[in-house]
Amino acid sequence: MVEVLEREKLAEAPADSSPAASRKIWTDEEFMALPEDGNRYEVVNGELVTVGSAGAKHGYYVSLIHIILGSYVRSQRIGFTFDSDTSFKMKSGNRRSPDCSFFSKERLQSLGGIPRGYIEGSPDLAVEVLSDANTIGEIHDRLVEYFENGSRLVWIIHPEEKYVLVYRRPEPEALKKPGDILEGGEVIPGFALDLSEFFAEPEL
């Protein structure tokens, strides 16, 4: 999902910050004015990071959860789903873009509807599909920030190992695998996904 540009190098930079070591801090206006160049971006700790391609299997599962979750949410009229082109602004100033997300109707109404730009706060449900580019530290940072900014539920989907980690706080609450049912609980009432079907190899 996310490849941080020069992250380790900057983390080791001296605290006195010479001009060569200075970082650009991205404003709201600059971030929203980024060109449509085929890349997707996030802002993490004031730095612009690229969201690179994660491969076909990652894309397949992102698309699949979008279709299933989006169809249910739309039929129940309880809110809206968003793809990873949607930017959520955190209290820290970071911009996060989950692979798939759900934002409740009530929260969007309090914001005056769906904005043209970024959404303030994190989604009620954030879904991340793992790829080889992810690190444990990066995923943990995302989880902490999601819950600090309004998320009530996070699903981490591992397409290779075929399981879903369920979070209601930064520590995992449950591990769901084929044979289990992934439920939306109070966040998406009535939603139930059979993981045997979800992780079944697609018929060619």
For 19-44, what is each residue's pLDDT tens digit? Answer: 333 456 655 566 555 556 555 665 66
Residue range 130-145, pLDDT digits in tens:
988 888 988 999 999 9
User: What was the pLDDT predicted at 19?
Assistant: 38
Residue 93 has pLDDT above 60, yes or no: yes
Average pLDDT, rounded, for the chain: 83
CA 147 – CA 154 distance, rounded (Å): 9
Which domains, and CATH codes, for the chain? 7-50 (no CATH), 54-198 (3.90.1570.10)
Q: Does residue 111 carry a pLDDT above 70? A: yes
- Residue 81 pLDDT > 90, yes or no? yes
% of the chain at pLDDT higher than 90: 63
